[in-house]
């Protein structure tokens, strides 16, 4: 993942140093393909479970107007090292806190979304393959997510000593949830048909994680995630 970011950041630097093409034609009606790599960071309730993770995406886009385009996006993301792996529970029998040495938690997302992009080219101009063009983006779609937790010591034991080999059954929650996103970014054209895309978004997902009360983790609904990343866009006239 780090290598992907490094490559894309080098391309961004090259874009900033490159001279914009002169007299580029309007991109209205053009189709394109986009690739992206993002840093995915949970906020609010989901932040209690996970810190951050990678997000990779691919999108088909079309310029539908002089300042508008639509994207059909697929993305994959994953969180690992859930907080419950390092969280102890208080055993009622001895009043002490106990860690589960085999605890493991991770969460994966597969999502699709339709994004509506509103570009702001220079005053009086249309979207074309030149310069830097900021934009606002709004999206709606669905996330299919899978949350897995395993290796937790069973906290309902009544007899000393605590048997650390007695574990809760592994838990796997799989659901599909609707989502909304809002954000903005800038396209930096390196040629009439290629651009570096810098973007940040706030994602609101109507999903839920069950509580683990013995570990102090409450039910989480909905999910809020911020993604910040870089991508490449290629246009076909």
**pLDDT at residue 192, rounded to an integer:** 84
Give the rounded distance of the alpha carbon of 138 from its chain centre: 15
Mean pLDDT of all residues in 137-149: 97
What's the 3-state SS for the chain?
CHHHHHHHHHHHHHHHHCCCCCCCCECCCCEEEEEEEEEEEEEHHHHHCCCCEEEEEEEEEEECCCCEEEEEEEEEEEEECCHHHHCCEECCCCCCEECCCCCEEEEEEEEEEEEEEEECCCCCCCCECCCEEEEEEEEEEEEEEEEEEECCECCCCCCCCCCCCCECCCEEEEEEEEEEEEEEEEEEEEECCEEEEEEEEEEEECCCECCEHHHCECCECCEEEEEEEEEEEEEEC
Tens-digit pLDDT profile for residues 66-83:
889 999 999 999 999 999
The domains found in the chain, sorted by start residue, are 2-21+28-236 (2.40.160.20)
Please tell me the pTM assigned to this model.
0.84
Q: Which residues pair with 68 in a beta bridge?
A: 118
Confidence of residue 92 (pLDDT cuts 50, 70, 90): confident
Tell me the per-residue pLDDT of 204-218, one tens digit each, with 9 for 90 and over: 999 999 999 999 999
Region for residue 180 given its phi and psi (left: phi exceeds 0; alpha: psi -120 to 50; beta: otherwise): beta
C-alpha distance from residue 194 to each of 12, 128, 173 (Å): 12, 11, 40
- Whether 105 has a pLDDT exceeding 60, the answer reads yes
- The CA distance from 42 to 204, in Å, is 10
Q: Over range 98-109, report the average pLDDT.
A: 95
pLDDT over 80 (residue 1):
no
pLDDT of residue 9: 52
Q: What is the pLDDT of residue 25?
A: 66
């Amino acid at each position: 993942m780090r290598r992907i970011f490094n490559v894309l950041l080098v391309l961004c630097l090259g874009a900033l140093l490159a001279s914009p093409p002169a007299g580029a034609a309007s991109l209205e009606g053009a189709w394109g393909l986009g690739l992206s790599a993002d840093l995915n960071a949970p906020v609010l309730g989901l932040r209690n479970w996970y810190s951050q993770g990678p997000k990779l995406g691919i999108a088909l886009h079309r310029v539908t107007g002089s300042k508008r385009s639509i994207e059909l996006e697929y993305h994959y993301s994953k969180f690992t090292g859930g907080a419950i792996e390092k969280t102890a529970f208080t055993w009622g029998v001895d009043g002490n806190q106990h860690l589960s040495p085999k605890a493991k938690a991770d969460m994966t997302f597969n999502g699709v979304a339709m994004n509506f992009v509103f570009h702001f080219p220079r005053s009086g101009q249309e979207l074309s393959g030149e310069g830097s063009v900021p934009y606002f983006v709004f999206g709606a779609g669905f996330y299919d997510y899978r949350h897995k937790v395993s290796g937790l010591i069973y906290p309902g034991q009544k007899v000393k000593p605590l048997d650390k080999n007695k574990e809760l059954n592994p838990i796997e929650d799989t659901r599909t949830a609707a989502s909304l996103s809002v954000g903005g970014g800038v396209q930096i054209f390196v040629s009439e048909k290629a651009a570096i895309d810098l973007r940040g978004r706030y994602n609101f997902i109507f999903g839920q994680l069950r509580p683990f009360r013995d570990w102090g983790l409450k039910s989480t609904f909905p999910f809020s995630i911020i993604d910040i990343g870089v991508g490449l866009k290629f246009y076909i006239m």
